[in-house]
Amino acid sequence: TNPRGATPIAAPTHLVHVHSMWHILLPVLAYAPRVAPQQPSSHHGRRQFLLSAGAGVASLLQRPAWASSVGGGNAGDKLLNLPADRLVDIVRADLVERQFLATADFTRAVYDEGALFTDEIDTYTLPKFIKGTSALFVKDKSEVRLVGEVKADDREVVFYFDEDLCFNIPLQPVVTVTGRCVLSRDPSSGLIVKYREYWDKSPTEVLKTAFNRPRKA
């Protein structure tokens, strides 16, 4: 839906992830403090601000993902039936070193090509998760932290995370998300076939973390 009557912009299917988060982030843009001097306080002024912000996002939606190396490796090269301890090492490195929750730079060889990625917003195919995530966040201004240890067995991999995500949209708002992630494995191949994030807060509560963030020294 387009609440302002503008002509819908057909976004590339691989950036549906960006579309979903844009709808969630509209309130941040609508109510964030204005930085331009002498900004009108009327509804018309706010509408103009949103329209200009929307134009920037439309440009983003039409831009291909710029990190060609994300989702590392060849889609055809799979590491089948890895022991749990080996998979733990790979997932930990993807999370801590490559920050894959914010960059989508992960070891693709341990994922089935048909794997589905689900967060509290939507569900995405593997290619859409890679391209959408790499376009959605500002890599250098986002940080993903592992909480505790990565645990795995023959059925799944589980870890807890604490992340600051900087969105690549006007104003570059930063939100903090905490929760756990469960990666389900296929019993025959051992590959990850399902990625599921469980957030500690609702999407609305997560949005509120974009306001009154402490200033860094």
What would the pLDDT profile of 169-187 be if each residue is shown by its tens digit? 999 999 999 999 999 999 9
Instruction: Please give the pLDDT value at position 216.
Output: 59
Report the percent of the chain where pLDDT is more than 90: 61
Instruction: Please give the pLDDT value at position 48.
Output: 35
DSSP secondary structure, 153-213, as one string: -SSEEEEEEEEEEEBSSTT--EEEEEEEEEEEEPTTT--EEEEEEEESS-HHHHHHTTSSP
> Which whole number is the average pLDDT over 123-143?
96
> Which whole number is the average pLDDT over 39-52?
36
> Which whole number is the average pLDDT over 118-122?
94
Residues facing residue 175 across a β-bridge: 165
> Which whole number is the average pLDDT over 58-80?
49
Confirm whether pTM is higher than 0.85.
no
Distant-in-sequence, close-in-space partners of 156: CB < 8 Å, separation ≥ 6: 182, 183, 184, 185
Distant-in-sequence, close-in-space partners of 137: CB < 8 Å, separation ≥ 6: 102, 103, 165, 166, 167, 168
Instruction: Please give the pLDDT value at position 123.
Output: 96
Instruction: Please give the pLDDT value at position 213.
Output: 77
- The token duo for 47 is 């509408």
Helix (H, G, I), strand (E, B) or coil at 118: strand
Report the C-alpha gap between 159 and 91 in whole angstroms: 9
